[in-house]
Each structure stands twice: as structure tokens, then as C-alpha cells.
């Protein structure tokens, strides 16, 4: 089952050493700002090779811009047999609205 987690609850969930925050937005969205510690795995890449992209025996936490793509990714993980799966309610937009920091990646020169 996919559980929802609010932006305010996310830091406590990520304190688990087995938790992996996976941002499924496109590269340009990632570069513009992401949650610190998130791993960028665009949804199309995840769909193409989920076994390579998802760590085994992990608590998987998916995030996107507003929550729709990350829910799709979470349901894919659920179909593949993963058990500890979370979706960030409202995505990075809700995270930013809550006043929580985003990290902007610097483009390569």
C-alpha cells in the first residue's frame, strides 16, 4: 500500500537510514530546485528500468512537482513488490509553500 506523507512529516521519515527520497520530475525541474538529499530518477527512466533504479529493502519515498507523477511511481513500486512506499502529498510545490528549503542544482558550464 502507498502511504501519503506531508512535507512537514517528511524529515522524520527521512531520518530512517533505509529511506530513499526519489524525485521523479524531469531534469530541468530538478535543476530548478529539489529537496536536499533527493535522488533524481525521472519517471520515464524509472519506468524503463525500475529494478535498476529502486534499491532493495528500502523505504521508498517518491516526490514530484505536485504529487501525481510520484503517485504513479509509487504504484509502480507497489506492483513490483516493494512494501514500504510513500508519496509526498502536494510534491515540491507543497514543500516550498510550507517554507521548507529547496536546493537548486548548478548547471554544468
Catalytic residue numbers read: 64
- Residue 2: C-alpha distances to residues 20, 43, 86, 98 (Å): 15, 17, 5, 22
Helix (H) or strand (E) holding 43: helix 43-48
Amino acid at each position: 500500500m502507498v502511504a501519503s506523507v506531508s512535507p512537514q512529516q517528511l524529515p522524520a521519515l527521512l531520518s530512517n537510514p533505509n529511506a530513499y527520497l526519489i524525485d521523479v520530475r524531469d531534469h530541468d525541474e530538478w535543476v530548478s530546485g529539489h529537496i536536499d538529499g533527493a535522488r533524481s530518477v525521472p519517471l520515464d527512466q524509472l519506468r524503463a528500468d525500475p529494478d535498476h533504479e529502486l534499491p532493495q529493502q528500502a523505504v521508498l519515498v517518491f516526490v514530484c512537482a505536485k504529487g501525481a507523477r510520484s503517485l504513479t511511481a509509487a504504484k509502480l513500486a507497489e506492483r513490483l513488490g516493494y512494501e514500504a512506499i510513500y508519496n509526498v502529498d502536494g510534491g515540491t510545490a507543497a514543500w516550498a509553500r510550507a517554507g521548507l528549503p529547496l536546493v537548486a542544482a548548478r548547471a554544468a558550464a
